[in-house]
A and B are shown apart, each in its own frame.
Chain A
């Protein structure tokens, strides 16, 4: 009787193995293979169940059956593994046969861009921060007190004509609001001097407005302005700072030149030029006069500069006998058009993506 049980079980084991082998031949993919694995050697699989029969066997038979069971299970596992490898191999081959043509991807529309003026502003900001300047800005709609009066540009003085001004209506009064769209970034100088104690080293960058519109003037444009107030600051220091700035910005040793000029908020006042960094050179490294940027003069006019006028310092409660200071300013748009070779300012404000995408970084 007991022997009968053992025979039956062993026989069943053999039968399951044969059934498995037959079924394995039909299996074509990993899912079916997994199903087969569950069906035979999973927790409740038909082969696994037979192991539960062991308890019914006589103790001396158990060892033999156990060995047989393990052999069958191992054989099944090996066959599954082998089959799995074959299926994966075939799938891999098939996968490797796949083709996707990446050369037809539209890369053009995958790139955004930063406006050349913003890019230039960031670069200016980086250089001046490195030179120890704080970067600040102020309101676009300004009071004449800050845009003119405190900058030594009194009302009814022809110096006000140097800038074509947009006036702004007041909230309730249309006339005599004394509000303007700031014509330069200089009111930020005033705000800074009023708000901080010297030493002051700032650059103010931002949007400014003048009533002017042609190929070389836009009614809205951008300016940067530097201000340094400290004890013992000299015009020679201004020149040294401008030299360090243009050299750092253009990445080469560029001379700076000052020419006397007039801006009401500085005294002495000057215009400053930098050596042209764009001049083509011959094989000997000598500059050629054919440069289209500086027209062969080797100098590029950048902006205005000078020692802060004592009246401006006084207007901001800074004692001109104790402190001296200098200021400079120039146009960011011009710097951007110089750097990127943009021929017409109006292109900057059109928003044509075919223009913008030329400046992806």
Chain B
């Protein structure tokens, strides 16, 4: 929203003492009201040397057909200038003349020049060259009664101005016009607000002009009819004012509606009454399927919810949003119907959104403009200007009302002001500010007032709203910095929900630190992605979570898997440089679960409508160009073990029950903790490497941990260290290559568990060497081992807790274990045998 300093000043009484704030201080004052000044632009500096001048004579240029030599009188002397414009007026006409030394917008300084051999001392200017209008078709023709020598900025005050761009928050519809900003500033600056004094002329009531068929949607409609209007260009001052506020001058009638919009913040509309069937309007709901062409040529198909301003036959405007093409005011129009109305904000917003039209009008109506004094003031200003500038005569009018909001009655307590702010505001300041803001104030006891806000402040709805008004004007910068004492010391009471939140947070922290310690770099990927990235991960479309209005396809689907994010990042890295890539991420994946656990609690009902969000910690490594940096699947397995170890969990690597399609079928494993799966590791499937455009021959390895299934805060218990030595037995097994070593180990552990034991006899036990109770010493493939098989050399450690064991008893147990285990293994792979 653009605000002209000059216009604002015209709405304020002079400052006490007459001191003028500089533009920066003025901007600070506006900002301190919560109307943030985002940009300050000064116009017209350097145009003091552009003056009104009179054409004295015109002669052809000796050396150019399209140029002419013009004698101009600038109030002091007559100067010969070269001019290329076709519309130079005859002698006696007035033009804008830039003297030598004038600086035009863009820093262009006028100097003495020679044009095709003829000296030219100055320039006759077009609007556009002076930056005061869009017209560049020819030079400006000024009224003939203007006095030569008058600086143009004096003749047209709006030329020299400062324009502030304000960011108006949606709660302040009153500040969407100069009147509202000036009224607010008046209170801040302690200057009186001088409202425009226009009043509506007394005219016969014309009941037939407006039929209000939808009073619940239109709270007020002031219709005024005019005759004898002459549509043409606006005077320069109006054109300049609109141009300064970035509005394009069109014709006097349209310009007046825009001027009123910017002055009062109240949208209005002008119909060419001659083009309205029966010359009247009907405010009614549209019929479904009714059609209308908007001013901007958009073809609208209306629905029954749309409010329209129709004539006797068909819609002529989408109420509060945009006028129709068929009844717009164009040159030649002489009779007008002028609308100043108030429409229900929510419905204007719905209509504007439905038809994807956002206009200055709908913007204001949906924020709820005034239906009271300001609406009437706007109608009155428009009426005066139509009379003055378009020669129109008002012939009749009607002011009909529907449902409007009732301003609330609010009790304001000085004690509440202090309780909320932590600062006292004196009673006289309270009354000064609120009265200044046109809040009707009635004392109703000691330090208590009964307040009714004005109709142009629909945002003032409760006591706190009034307190905000007070603190805005009293000054938020006067607020002290005083800590209040909490009613109980923080941290005394630990909410059960908080304990869980803290555990989750510390689990994520621990995992992230552990991954970082594995030389991984944490990345953050977008939580949404391209659906084709997610295809390999097999979540069906009806279980994926979809963004209704994505920016583009890449932000359209909530990720069901973390791998694509890391693959994208890794692929990007390899395209940019030749280094090894080691990435990790902690994030969430999203899906619609097939079923969900019953929950209770205050948010359960809402939560049941939300998708499932699961937490994942993932990592990916792939070698760069250097051979030494190429990795193997064992690297990600080790990382997983180390990261889980940081949580106090002992990981077991097991073959997956069903292979994950996104991992290499021969290089993947499930991660188990305490017998439950908590993640997986493996090599990224070659198909995915191709899909994500990795260079040929590069392999990537991936691991993920399912954080929701993991416990943080592990408190380890001490176990007595063994006092007696362990004894080991070796076992060499011939097994198929695809039989996992872990299956062999598991079979041996199960067999040992089922074997007969004496109370104090030997058991399989962590040996005194590096590995576990069962170590895999060698994995041999080659000579002496049949095709498709490998020889696994295992070392089993036995120990009794309280005594030394004898060879015989260990041998007996070992033999029983091996026999049972091999029998079990043979059921899955018959070719297994002891070597």
Contacts and interface: CB of A to CB of B under 8 A. Distances in A.
B523 A356 contact: yes
Secondary structure type dominating chain B contacts: mixed
A141 B476 contact: no
Given A220-B527, A259-B476, A350-B572, A213 B465 contact: no
B468 A234 contact: no
A239 B366 CA distance: 33
Contacts of B172: 262
A8 interface: no
Contacts of B34: 259-262, 269
B568 to A, nearest CB: 7
Contact of A195 (B487, B519, B580, B601): B601
B312 interface: no
B490 A133 contact: yes
Interface in A56-109: 109
A115 B31 CA distance: 36
A174 to B, nearest CB: 7
B694 to A, nearest CB: 14
B577 interface: yes
Contacts of A291: none
With a 10 A CB-CB cut-off, give which of B521, B551, B569, B582 has the most chain A CB atoms.
Answer: B521
Given A114-B522, A158-B366, A258 B477 contact: yes
A230 B611 CA distance: 33
Given A112-B521, A133-B490, A236-B422, A256 B555 contact: no
Interface string B597-631: 00001110011011101000000000000000100
Contacts, number: 280
B325 interface: no
B708 interface: no
B521 A230 contact: no
Contacts of B577: 354
A139 B509 CA distance: 19
B479 A142 contact: no
B157 to A, nearest CB: 31
A262 B606 contact: no
Contacts of B465: 267
Secondary structure type dominating chain A contacts: mixed
Nearest to A309: B464
Interface string A150-186: 0000001111011000111111001101110100000
Contacts of B576: 352, 354
A234 B573 CA distance: 51
Contact of A145 (B477, B481, B516, B606): B606
With a 10 A CB-CB cut-off, give which of A114, A260, A267, A350 has the most chain B CB atoms.
Answer: A260
A191 B610 CA distance: 14
Interface string B563-603: 00110111011001101111110001010100000000111
A11 interface: no
Nearest to B519: A112
Nearest to B513: A114
Contacts of B477: 257-258
Given A171-B592, A267-B465, A135 B479 contact: no
Given A111-B519, A143-B606, A353 B420 contact: no
A135 B572 contact: no
Contact of B501 (A111, A134, A174): A134
Given A162-B170, A195-B603, A258-B477, A201 B505 contact: no
Interface in B481-502: 481-491, 495, 497-498, 501-502
Contact of A136 (B423, B498, B520): B498
Contacts of B582: 109, 112, 353
B419 A270 contact: no
B515 interface: yes
Interface stretch (B66-74, B136-144, B233-241, B540-548): B540-548
Contacts of A159: 170-171
B626 to A, nearest CB: 9
B567 to A, nearest CB: 10
B367 A268 contact: no
Contacts of A118: 512, 522, 524
A194 interface: yes
B420 A307 contact: yes
B479 A310 contact: no
A204 B372 CA distance: 43
A131 to B, nearest CB: 8
B550 interface: yes
Interface in B413-440: 419-423
Given A353-B573, A356-B521, A199 B481 contact: no
A196 B570 CA distance: 43
A298 interface: no
Top 6 closest pairs, chain A to chain B, by CB: A132-B490, A236-B422, A351-B569, A234-B422, A260-B34, A262-B169
Given A236-B423, A351-B525, 4 more contacts: A134-B501, A157-B346, A195-B602, A241-B483
16 contacts: A114-B522, A136-B497, A137-B501, A145-B606, A158-B349, A167-B549, A199-B486, A199-B488, A219-B526, A220-B526, A232-B487, A235-B422, A235-B423, A236-B423, A239-B479, A351-B570
